[in-house]
Amino acid sequence: MDAQTKTNAATQTKSAAKMEGTGSNVLLDVRNLKKYFPITQGILFQRKVADVKAVDGVSFDVKQGETLGLVGESGCGKSTTGRTILQLYRPTEGQVLFRGKDLAQLKGEELRRMRSDMQMIFQDPYASLNPRMTVGDIIAEPLEVHNIAKGQEKKERVQELLQIVGLNPYFINRYPHEFSGGQRQRIGIARALAVNPDFIVCDEPISALDVSIQAQIINLLEELQDRFGLTYLFIAHDLSVVRHISDRVAVMYLGKIVELTDSRTLYANPLHPYTRALLSAVPIPDPIIEEKRERIILVGDVPSPVNPPKGCRFHTRCPLAIPICKEVAPEWRDVGNGHFVECHVV
Amino acid sequence: MSNVLLDVRNLRTEFATQDGVVHAVNGVSFHLDEGETLGLVGESGSGKSVSMLSVMRLIPMPPGRIASGEVIFQGQDLLKLSPEEMRQIRGNKIAMVFQDPMTSLNPVLTIGTQITEALELHLGMSKDKARKRAVELLKMVNIPEADRRLEDYPHQFSGGMRQRVMIAMALSCSPQLLIADEPTTALDVTIQAQITDIVKRLKRELGMAIIWITHDLGVIAGLADRINVMYSGFIVETAYNKELFANPLHPYTVGLLGSIPRLDEGRREKLTPIEGLPPDLVNMPTGCPFHDRCQFRTQKCLEENPPLMSVGVKHWSACWNYEAVREKRDEILRRHTVQPAAA
C-alpha cells in the first residue's frame, strides 16, 4: 500500500467516525484538571515554599470534529491547560479522558502510542523547528517514531504533507531558516498532521505572524479540519480569531474557566463580567463603531497565581463585585443550553 | 488647527547588509498638523518604524543611511541639525514610546531616577521640583501610590504599568509630538484598552500631536484622525480615518481589512488572505511593489510604480487600478452581511 492510499483510507475511516458521532460524540473530557508548579527554596535540601497554581480546577469537554476555543490573557493558564491535556506536563490532579481513557493514568509505551492521536501546533514557528534538521527530516520524524512509514514511502508521505499544507514538495531538503514565518508555521502543521491525529492542540498558532499571513493559516486550519475531520483545541489571546474559528469558546482567568458557551452566544450574550470586559476591550476595525462603543476598562493587573485572591478570583478587578465575592468562590453552573458561568452576580 | 507641525518630504532610508542594500523607506512624504493623530499602519518590514526612527535621527549609522529627504519640524530641517541640537529636540519637543516596555527601561535605576533625569536635563529643574513633577506624571497615567513607587525598580512593575511609566516619561517635557511605536502590541487586550484610554485622555488634556505606529487596524480605527498605510517602504494609501475604512482604494488596504476576522461578524465567514509574501527589500521588484500579491494586477503594474493619486476628498491611493478595486471591494470585505451593532 503506498502512502497515498494509506492516507485516503485513514481519512475515510475518520470521516465515517465523524458521521456516526454527528457532533455530539465527546472525544475529550477534562475533569477538574489542576497543574501546580512548585516554587522551591534552598540549595542542597530543596523544600517547597509555595505553588504557582497555573491551572486550578478546569472542566470541559471537546466533541468529535468541533473546535473549542480557549481564550484568556497572558498567564491565565491556557497554554498550560493545553500542554497538561497532552501530558507534556503531568497533571497535579484531575482526569483527562480521551475516548474514555484517562491519559493522566497512562505511562511509558502506552502513553507514547496514544500520542499519535493527539498532536500540537506551537506558537513560535522560529523556536519549534530544529534549525539543524531539514524540513523533510522534521516532518518525517513522527513517522519514524511511530513506525508509520519508511524509505520511499516515508518520502512520498512527507511530500504529500507538504502539498497538503500548501508548500512546494521540492522544499524537502531545505532548512527552516530558508522559510518565512508563515511557511514555517505550515511546516509545523505538516509535522502535526504526519501521524493522522484526531485531535490537535493549536497553541496560539498565528500570534507570531503578520496580519496578512494570519488569514492564510486560519483558512488552512479550517480546510484541514473539514478534510480530515480534525478536532481542535484552539488556544489564543485574540478573541476575534477565537470566535471566528471556534464552535464553542471557554474564557479563562487566573487558572479557572469563568465562562463557556457557543461562540455566537458568547458575543451576543456574555454573562461573566470578565468576558464582558474582554469583549469590550477588543478593538473593531471600524471607526464609526469604535466611536459609539462603551469600553469597560478594568482597573489594575491580573493578581499572582501563587496567591490567587480568596473567593472569586476576579473580585479584585470586577466592576460588579458584592461582599460575598470576596469570601466564597462561585460555583461552575449551567445557566441553560450548555452555557456555563462561574459568577455570583449573574 | 491645521498648522503644519511636521512635514516629511521624500524620505529614503537604507541599510547596508551582507546581502546588499536594504531599501527600508523609499521616498515617503507626509505631513502632520498640530494636535493631530496620525496612524501609521503596516506589517513588519513595511518601513513604518524605520521612517519614524529616521525622523528622530535614531537610525544606527552605519549600517543605516538616510539617503535623501527633508524632515521639517516647526520650520527646521531635523536632518540638518548637529547631534547636539538634535538632542535638545529629542525627548523634549518630540518624544517616543517603544513597543517593548521590558527593554526600554533601565533595570538598574529606579523609576524615579529615570523620570527625573529628563526633567533635570531638558527643563533644568531642581531635584525636588523634578521629583514632585514625576509624582504628578505617574498620577496622570493612573499609577497608584505614585509617591512610593518612585523608589521601585522596573521589575517591580507589570508590563502595562511599565508602558504607562514610559508614556509618563515621554510626556514629562510636554512634547509637541509623541511618536508611539506599537506601544500596545506586547500587552493584553484589557491592558491595551487601559493604555489607549489614557492616551486619548492625555491628548485631550495636553493637545500634543501623535504618530501611532501599529499593525492593528482595530486599534487605529479608534484612535487616529488620519491614516497612512505603508507597504515595503512606500505609503500606498492615505486618507482620513472614516474615509479609509469606509472606502479603501488600495488592494493592500482592502487585503488587510479582508484578512482579519472581526468580533462583530458571524463565525467562519471565509477570510480572504493576501496570498504570497512581501517583496525582498534588497531586490525590489520593478513596478508596483505589491504587484505579485495583487489580484487587480495589470501589465502596467509590472512596469511602472504608481505614485499616490488623488482618489477622493483628501484621499490618495498608489494604485493604477483603484476603480477596479472600488467595484470588487465589497466582496473581499464580506460586506454582504448586515453587521450587528457592537456590544
Cβ of A37 under 8 Å from any chain B Cβ? no
* DSSP H or E stretch at residue A59: strand A47-63
Cβ of B271 under 8 Å from any chain A Cβ? yes
Q: Do B190 and A270 touch (CB under 8 A)?
A: no
Q: Do A218 and B261 touch (CB under 8 A)?
A: yes
Q: Which of A74, A281, A293 sits opposite B342 (nearest CB)?
A: A293
pLDDT digits 0-9 by tens, B118-143: 888 888 889 999 999 999 888 888 88
Q: Which three cell numbers stand for residue B130?
A: 523634578
pLDDT of residue A181: 86
A305: helix, strand or coil: coil
- Give the DSSP letter of residue B70: E
Q: Do B342 and A180 touch (CB under 8 A)?
A: no
Cβ of B7 under 8 Å from any chain A Cβ? no
CB A119 within 8 A of CB A192: yes
Cβ of B263 under 8 Å from any chain A Cβ? yes
Which residues, numbered 217 to 236 in chain B, qualify as contacts with chain A under a Cβ-Cβ cut-off of 8 Å?
217-219, 221-222
- Beta-carbon contacts of residue B251 (< 8 Å; ≥ 6 apart): B290, B294, B295, B296, B319, B321, B325
Report d(CA A232, CA A71) in Å as an integer: 13
pLDDT of residue B336: 55
pLDDT band at A24 (very low <50, low <70, confident <90, very high): low
pLDDT digits 0-9 by tens, A130-158: 999 999 999 999 999 898 888 899 999 99
What value, to the nearest 5°, has the Cα angle with vertex A25 and ends A185 and A11? 50
Closest-CA distance of chain B to residue A301, Å: 7
Percentage of residues in chain A having pLDDT higher than 70: 93
User: What residues of chain A lie within 8 A of the CB of B274, using their CB?
Assistant: 212-213, 215-216
Query: Considering the entire predicted model, what is its pTM?
Result: 0.85
Q: Which three cell numbers stand for residue B143?
A: 499609577
Q: Do B189 and A237 touch (CB under 8 A)?
A: yes
Q: Do A243 and B267 touch (CB under 8 A)?
A: yes
User: What residues of chain B lie within 8 A of the CB of A210, using their CB?
Assistant: 43-44, 215
pLDDT of residue A19: 41
Average pLDDT over residues A166-184: 90
Which residues, numbered 242 to 281 in chain A, qualify as contacts with chain B under a Cβ-Cβ cut-off of 8 Å?
243-247, 263-264, 267, 270, 276-281
Per-position pLDDT tens, chain B of length 343: 468 999 999 999 999 988 889 999 999 999 999 999 999 999 888 999 999 999 999 998 888 999 999 999 998 999 999 999 998 898 889 999 888 777 888 889 999 999 898 888 888 889 999 999 999 888 888 888 888 888 999 888 888 888 888 888 888 888 999 999 988 887 788 888 888 888 888 888 888 999 999 988 989 999 999 999 999 999 999 999 999 999 999 999 999 998 888 888 766 677 888 888 888 888 888 899 999 999 999 999 999 999 999 999 999 999 999 999 998 888 888 765 444 444 3
User: What residues of chain B lie within 8 A of the CB of A224, using their CB?
Assistant: none
CB A270 within 8 A of CB A279: yes
pLDDT band at A20 (very low <50, low <70, confident <90, very high): very low
pLDDT band at A340 (very low <50, low <70, confident <90, very high): very high
Cβ of B155 under 8 Å from any chain A Cβ? no
What is the predicted ipTM? 0.80
pLDDT band at A85 (very low <50, low <70, confident <90, very high): very high
pLDDT of residue A343: 93
Q: Is B55 exposed, middle or buried (0-12, 13-18, 19+ CB in 10 A)?
A: buried
Strand order from edge to edge, sheet including A47-63: A47-63, A26-41, A93-98, A101-102
